[in-house]
Amino acid sequence: MEPFGRHRRLIMKYISRKKPFEKRTYIEQEKKEFDPRLLHYRVNGRVYIDSLWQDERYFNDIEDVIRNDLKIIPPNDESNQKLSKQIRNSNSVAIHVRWFASPDSFPKSSKVNVCLEYYRYAIDKISSGISSPTYFLFSDHPENAGRMIGLKGKNIRCVCHNKDEATAYADIWLMSQCKHFIIANSTFSWWGAWLASNPNKIVLCPNFKGSWNFQRLVPKRWELIDS
């Protein structure tokens, strides 16, 4: 790690904040809303861009480049390859549950949590809109999520074999193979849905007014559901 890297970064941030936007060399996201100034910024030398900037309007004109750069090398183990085949050969729907609370009880809607009713409504909507859906549940606590959402009588597969950070990439790769999506207020499933190549994909998202204004990050073609 670069000596005094953190202190140097803080100094750069402080100095850049004093400059006009177009002259900054350290650009930090100031608000969650789309900032059109970044589209008109001209890079001259080394520039640091910090924060999420998670709005496809920032990269619409280079979408093909982004998709190519973020193309995930498929895991070559038998479990993931077998599951990928099941996803491709079915009317697959990825469900992502992100836990921001104790995994022992499904969180109530709050500044960081999407409520249980969101998932139940989204599942009913998908089930009535496409034929023979097969659900693939992704979560940091998949067993608990599946039990609490309650998908009895539905064709569902709990994806729970990629259990650590080193194999998290395999989950997002599998997610991106799915045809339709019920995502969480999470960058993980946002990118999983965005990277999916199905041109007719249905993406249901929480109309989340929580700590990071998720509903403002959602592409217009995705559908918001009150959470």
- The residue extents of the domains of the chain are 5-53, 77-226
CATH of 77-226, one of 3.40.50.150, 2.40.160.20, 3.40.50.2000, 3.30.450.40: 3.40.50.2000
What average pLDDT does this structure show over 47-71?
91
Question: pTM above 0.75?
Answer: yes
Higher-scoring residue by pLDDT: 181, 110 = 181
Cβ atoms of residues 134 and 155 within 8 Å:
yes
Rg of the chain on CA atoms, in Å:
20
CA distance 183 to 186: 7
pLDDT bracket for residue 1 (50, 70, 90) = very low
Give the pLDDT confidence score for residue 154 in this predicted structure.
74
Poorest-pLDDT segment among 51-60, 136-145, 174-183: 136-145
Cβ atoms of residues 119 and 138 within 8 Å:
no
What average pLDDT does this structure show over 108-132?
83
HSE-CB for 149 with a 13 A CA cutoff: 30
Chain segment 163-212, per-residue pLDDT in tens: 777 788 999 999 999 999 999 988 899 999 999 999 999 999 998 766 55
Look at residue 136 and tell me whether its pLDDT is greater than 80: yes
Cβ atoms of residues 184 and 114 within 8 Å:
yes
Look at residue 27 and tell me whether its pLDDT is greater than 80: yes
